[in-house]
Amino acid sequence: MHTYQLSRLQGALQVRQGGTVCQGICGMTINPAGLPFFCPGYVKIFPIMANAFISVEDVHFQHPVRGGESTRALNGINLQIEEGEYLAIVGANGSGKTTLGRHLNALLMPGQGRVLVNGKDTRDPQNHPAIRSTVGMVFQSPEDQIVAAVLEEDIAFGPENMGLPPAEIRARVEEALTITGMQEHRERPPHLLSAGQMQRAALAGVLAMHPRCVIMDETTAMLDPGGRAMVKQLIHRLHDEGLTVIVITHFMREAVEADRVVVLKEGTVAFDGPPRDIFIHPADLYSMNLDLPIAARLAQSLRPIFPELPADILTPEALFRALPSYMGALLPDSLPRPSHARNDCADIIKVEDLEHVYLSDTPLAHSALTGASLCVGEGSSHGLIGSTGSGKSTLLQHLNGLLIPQQGRVRVGAFDLNDAATDLKAVRRYAGLVFQNPEYQIFEQYVGDEIAYAPRLMGEKETLRETVRSAMTSVGLDFETFKDRFTFALSGGERRKVAMASILAMNPAILLLDEPTAGLDPRSRRGVLEHLNGMQTGSKTLVVSSHHMEDIAELAENVTALANGRDQLNGSAASVFHQVEKINALGLEAPLVSQAAAVLRSRNWPLRPDILRPAELTKNLSQIVEGSHA
């Protein structure tokens, strides 16, 4: 890392001194048109600044804070981005990556230093129209970027702002709809689109401006595996067509798809280079609250068994390619059959053939559930998987009486929800539901009051303080530190924990969680998962829905996969994820370990059928290796 920072410094010096030094050092030549040619194989390029497509020069920026000291977000960033690059900007929450992204299309102006886009300075308002039609930006929450009430009208918003003639706008709207595959939704109101569709719509709105560069600011954080794959495919296609793509993310598995990775730490560039170089010092990554991509982590733990695995495995594809075939003797007798047997349902939750239609009797009616069944054993943990719109949230809301069955039966504990006389408030206390987005849940000013809300309503007085304390402790929030904090000043991970604690304060027998880790950075995500795992060893029954199959593999004993409002796969987590093909067919993505196990099985490894976690895979593999040596 030291040598690296030195070269960074030299780079900055070279840039300041102008083109000649740089030319000498990296062997760059200038063609008559003034465009730089790069020496092949040389990674770090410091071209002459006026020629870089986007040039960030010693940029400092502070976020103003009302009545307080402003927080420093960027601390002297230098960056040259060439046309046609595929660049990933990574960093933990608060590292300044979004702030940097917003400097690149003049949404923020540097406090010190300058940003040039195509040679135009972002500080000059005269340049803004040109800069913003050159560099387009897609934001994290898809619903907030859609301006118009009809989709195609929204896509036309950018070109309309550019003052293009109607025929040209029409052509561009059609083109953007085709690229993103949204033609059939052109007349739908945006609030009725799914998150994945909305994100594609937002991208279409940017593409219609014919930008030369697209910045994607954590655009996949809220999407399901199908949506993520779709966006990834789109990015690759745009890049292949010559567009400059800048992806801002905290997921390493997305960063390694890029040609170049820039890691930010506390507002400075901590690394700049091709993805394979970043993982030479994993320890540095951990110190920045980042993580190796899971494929690299799995490769690492498999290397003692397969020493021939190359050192630079970053993507699942590379890992699968490198996995060896089994050469030992086949012992078909010892192969256990996959067990589909489930925990015998001493069921605390029983759902049969549940159907639900939203906005029934209106032209906007749509079915969310079309005959879903679910059975959850007492004290077990159950995972719900399914793509967006498969009915997970609707099903969860039936389990605590927010929704009443229209068709079919629901029983939760001793409560029969088909019975109109059932006390719904008691059901909600018995089965606590933590929603996906904590924004909508938190309404008190102080953390302590927020968590005390439910027990207070239930009439608790003397024991209130103790209840709040134990609820906070069980999610890992220190009572004394956090009880008087303002709720609006919490970080994303902390908000999630407060929302969870506010449900736990009711001491529910069943805990229902809707996407508990969506949108969190790797460290907060690990924190939430650890606490859930801890809780599970207690006596609570857990029902968790998630887009992240890795989370489910870590948390759940049993899994139900939903598609089109119906349960498609049921059984123990191992037996469900064992069916890698079927999971993929549902638009989901089996956990990497299950996928790797499937690849190994196809290469004749006699693996057990119930492998779910990396440790189980390595243990089973080493048993086989030892066995064949013996």
Partner 1 sequence: MHNFEFLRMVNIGQYLPLQSVLHRLDPRARILIYFCIIAAATFTSSPLGLAIALAVTFIGFWFGRIPLRFALRGLLPPLPFLLILAFLQIFLTPHPDEATILYSLGPMKIYLAGLISAGLLLLRFAVLILGLGLASYTLSTSEMIHGLESLFSPLARLGIPTHDLVMVVQVTIRFIPFLAQAAERIAKAQASRGADWGTHKGGLLARTRQVIPLVLPLFLTSLRRAETMALAMDARGYAAITRRTSLMVMHFTWKDALAILLGIAAGVTILWVG
Q: Among residue numbers 135 through 164, which ones bind partner 1 (CB under 8 A)?
A: 136-137, 139, 141, 143-150, 152-153, 156-164
What distance in Å separates the CA atoms of residue 384 and residue 88, rounded to the nearest whole number? 32
Whether 612 and 572 have beta carbons less than 8 Å apart is answered as no
- Quote the least distance from Cβ 210 to partner 1, whole Å: 12
C-beta of 298 vs 403, nearer to partner 1 = 403
- Work out which of 321, 340, 366, 425 binds partner 1, going by CB under 8 A: 425
Does residue 107 touch partner 1 according to CB under 8 A?
A: yes
Q: Which two tokens stand for residue 85?
A: 């690059």
Q: Which two tokens stand for residue 44?
A: 């770090």
Residues 165-194 that bind partner 1 (CB under 8 A): 165-166, 169-170, 173, 187-191
- Work out which of 2, 31, 440, 537 binds partner 1, going by CB under 8 A: 440
Residues 194-233 that bind partner 1 (CB under 8 A): 202, 205-206, 209
- Burial of 33 per CB tally in 10 Å (0-12, 13-18, 19+): exposed
Q: Which two tokens stand for residue 201?
A: 């719509």
Instruction: Break the chain down into helix, strand, coil percent, rounded to 5.
Output: 40, 20, 40
Residue 360, CA distances (Å) to 419, 530, 563 in order: 21, 41, 21
Name the region of 604 (left: φ>0; alpha: ψ -120 to 50; beta: rest): left
Whether 365 and 532 have beta carbons less than 8 Å apart is answered as no
Q: Which two tokens stand for residue 260?
A: 């170049």
Backbone angles phi, psi at 540, to 5 degrees: -75, 150
What distance in Å separates the CA atoms of residue 164 and residue 184, rounded to the nearest whole number? 25
Does residue 491 touch partner 1 according to CB under 8 A?
A: no
- Quote the least distance from Cβ 512 to partner 1, whole Å: 9
- Quote the least distance from Cβ 147 to partner 1, whole Å: 6
- Work out which of 23, 118, 133, 300 binds partner 1, going by CB under 8 A: 133
Does residue 308 touch partner 1 according to CB under 8 A?
A: no
C-beta of 497 vs 601, nearer to partner 1 = 497
C-beta of 223 vs 294, nearer to partner 1 = 223
- Work out which of 437, 507, 564, 628 binds partner 1, going by CB under 8 A: 437
Does residue 606 touch partner 1 according to CB under 8 A?
A: no
Residues 548-567 that bind partner 1 (CB under 8 A): none
Residues 345-364 that bind partner 1 (CB under 8 A): 358-364
What is the CB-side half-sphere exposure of residue 17 using CA atoms within 13 A?
Answer: 12
Does residue 492 touch partner 1 according to CB under 8 A?
A: no
C-beta of 360 vs 622, nearer to partner 1 = 360
Sign of the CA dihedral with 201 first, then 202, 204, and 208 last: positive
The residue type found at 367 is S
Does residue 502 touch partner 1 according to CB under 8 A?
A: yes
User: What is the DSSP pairing of strand 407-412 with strand 415-416?
Assistant: antiparallel
What distance in Å separates the CA atoms of residue 292 and residue 282, rounded to the nearest whole number? 7
- Quote the least distance from Cβ 445 to partner 1, whole Å: 9
Whether 556 and 382 have beta carbons less than 8 Å apart is answered as yes
- Quote the least distance from Cβ 11 to partner 1, whole Å: 29
Q: To which residue do tokens 């290796």 refer? A: 625
- Quote the least distance from Cβ 159 to partner 1, whole Å: 8
How far from chain centre, in Å, is Cα 440?
20
- Quote the least distance from Cβ 113 to partner 1, whole Å: 21
- Quote the least distance from Cβ 149 to partner 1, whole Å: 4
Residues 373-392 that bind partner 1 (CB under 8 A): none
What distance in Å separates the CA atoms of residue 518 and residue 514, rounded to the nearest whole number? 9
Judged by CB under 8 A, the stretch of 311-319, 435-443, 546-554, 583-591 that binds partner 1 is 435-443
C-beta of 159 vs 448, nearer to partner 1 = 159
Q: Which two tokens stand for residue 630?
A: 């013996």
C-beta of 206 vs 302, nearer to partner 1 = 206
Report the side by side order of strands in the sheet with 347-358. 366-377, 347-358, 407-412, 415-416
Residue 179's contacts (CB-CB under 8 Å, 6 or more residues apart) are: 204, 207, 234, 237
C-beta of 150 vs 599, nearer to partner 1 = 150
C-beta of 9 vs 426, nearer to partner 1 = 426
- Work out which of 283, 329, 488, 630 binds partner 1, going by CB under 8 A: 488
Judged by CB under 8 A, the stretch of 243-251, 332-340, 430-438, 573-581 that binds partner 1 is 430-438
Does residue 429 touch partner 1 according to CB under 8 A?
A: yes
- Quote the least distance from Cβ 83 to partner 1, whole Å: 20
C-beta of 161 vs 481, nearer to partner 1 = 161
- Quote the least distance from Cβ 296 to partner 1, whole Å: 34
